[in-house]
């Protein structure tokens, strides 16, 4: 039923249903690394939930998906409370949404229409985010995003990634948290699935879930897509299994820092590159919306040949003083937005296959 035709009672009922359904989808996606529906279906539910809430603001529930980030950390891992929350990103689905974003930023900052406003654009890597804490240059802990406030302790697993230095290079601040995305390339993903199908993987030896009538013991899982393969491979109980999985990392953000090495997003990301992290070569800075959109189109055109999944382009206000003034709303920063690629161009998501051996 169109949102405009809903009665308040129907809206309340629908919001309750959406909260329950999406909480279950979140659990399957984040905790089990086994999505029940495609991202497009999931995003459509999120948009529907937002539209109903916009029409009936009094009915917004405490457990609404529009207020939540990710899902609670799994009991399989020790927990780490993030010194600074790890949030999600607001979405833009059209050029007009991007123009609205820039207008909102200008209005909030009371900037004139012709005042300069530099914004960066970079690929939105389809993996899972990870926060790496360095003290005196040494890696001391690594945590997944979890529900944004508390993540899963995957320190031993993160140490096995060749892209993650155990010691920061050069002069690093006393405390510095590097944040970025763990991902898997298409080629590595295909090879891993092939290996899993043959039962040639250390994880095949450990019973992932207890045996039951419905799920016999010794399952070898193949992964639905590189994102789930990355999440499932990082979130292993045995770090040696993680070591055997070809995981990579791009750094694009930071958390707590005793000193921030730069005054802009681009400067700090370049500094993080200097600390020894891979940073994405397609990150660029623009002074106008036209440049952003052009870069978006160019990244979209390169999408099929990048060798790893991306699901959009992230724009971020470059000046950190402006970022600070803009701050955050419930689940995302006001200074950034993810410009998603349209659904029909999205890569096909293959359903997870479970092979019993």
> Which residue positions form the known binding site?
39-43, 88-89, 122, 145, 181, 316, 340
Tokens found for residue 76: 């399989």
Site string for ligand NAD, 11-50 (x = CB under 6 A): --------------xx--x-----xxxxx--xx-------
User: Are 308 and 250 a contacting pair, CB within 8 Å?
Assistant: no
* CB neighbour burial string for 230-264, b if at least 16 within 10 angstroms, e if fewer: bbbbbbbeebebbbbbbbbbbbbbbbebeeebeeb
Please identify, among the stretches 118-126, 159-167, 201-209, 255-263, the one whose residues bind ligand NAD according to the rule CB under 6 A.
118-126
Distance (Å, rounded) from C-alpha 196 to C-alpha 198?
5
CB of 265 to ligand NAD, least distance (A): 10
**Catalytic residue (one of 79, 124, 219, 345):** 124
Residues between 193 and 222 with contacts to ligand NAD, criterion CB under 6 A = none
Three-state DSSP class for 20? helix
Site string for ligand NAD, 328-357 (x = CB under 6 A): ----------x-------------------
**Least Å from the CB of residue 43 to ligand NAD:** 5
CA distance 181 to 179: 7
Report CA-CA distances (Å) from 179 to 8, 86, 160.
42, 9, 17
Per the listing, tokens 């089990």 go with 32
The annotated binding site for NAD(+) is made up of: 39-43, 88-89, 122, 145, 181, 316, 340
- Report in angstroms how near the CB of residue 40 gets to ligand NAD at its nearest: 7
Cα 161 from chain centroid (whole Å)? 18
Residue with tokens 């995981």: 247
Instruction: Assess whether 124 carries a catalytic annotation.
Output: yes
Least distance (Å) between residue 303 CB and ligand NAD: 14
User: Per CB under 6 A, which of residues 139..198 are in contact with ligand NAD?
Assistant: 145, 181
SS3 261: coil
Backbone dihedral angles phi then psi of residue 204, each to the nearest 5 degrees: -65, -25
- Which residues are known to be catalytic? 124
Under the rule (CB under 6 A), what is the footprint of ligand NAD?
25-26, 29, 35-39, 42-43, 69, 88-89, 122, 124-125, 129, 145, 181, 252-253, 311, 314, 338
């Amino acid at each position: 039923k169109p949102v405009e035709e809903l009665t308040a009672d129907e809206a309340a009922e629908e919001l309750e249903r959406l909260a329950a359904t999406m909480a279950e989808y979140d659990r399957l996606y984040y905790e089990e690394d086994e999505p029940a529906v495609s991202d497009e279906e999931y995003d459509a539910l999120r948009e529907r939930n937002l539209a109903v809430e916009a029409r009936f603001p009094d009915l917004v529930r405490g457990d609404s998906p529009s207020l939540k980030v990710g899902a609670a950390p799994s009991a399989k891992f020790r927990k780490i409370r993030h010194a600074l929350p790890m949030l999600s990103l607001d979405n833009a689905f059209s050029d007009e949404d991007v123009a609205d974003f820039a207008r909102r930023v200008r209005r909030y900052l009371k900037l004139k229409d012709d005042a300069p406003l530099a914004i960066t654009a970079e690929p939105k890597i389809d993996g899972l985010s990870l926060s790496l804490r360095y003290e005196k240059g040494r890696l001391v802990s690594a945590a997944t995003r979890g529900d944004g406030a508390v993540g899963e302790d995957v320190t031993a697993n993160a140490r096995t990634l060749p892209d993650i230095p155990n010691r920061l290079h050069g002069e690093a601040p006393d405390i510095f948290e590097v944040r970025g995305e763990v991902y898997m390339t298409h080629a590595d993903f295909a090879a891993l699935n092939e290996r899993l199908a043959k039962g040639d993987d250390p994880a095949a030896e450990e019973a992932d879930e207890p045996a039951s009538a419905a799920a016999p013991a010794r399952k070898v899982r193949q992964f639905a897509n590189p994102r789930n393969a990355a999440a499932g491979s990082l979130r292993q109980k045995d770090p040696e299994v993680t070591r055997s999985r070809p995981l990579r990392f791009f750094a694009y953000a930071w958390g707590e820092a005793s000193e921030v090495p730069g005054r802009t997003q681009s400067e700090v990301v370049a500094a993080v590159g200097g600390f020894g992290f891979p940073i994405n070569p397609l990150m660029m800075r623009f002074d106008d919306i036209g440049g952003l959109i052009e870069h978006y189109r160019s990244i979209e055109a390169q999408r099929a040949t990048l060798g790893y999944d991306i699901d959009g382009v992230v724009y971020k206000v470059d000046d950190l003083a402006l970022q600070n003034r803009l701050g955050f709303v419930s689940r995302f920063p006001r200074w950034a937005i993810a410009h998603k690629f349209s659904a029909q161009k999205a890569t096909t998501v293959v359903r997870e296959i479970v092979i019993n051996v």
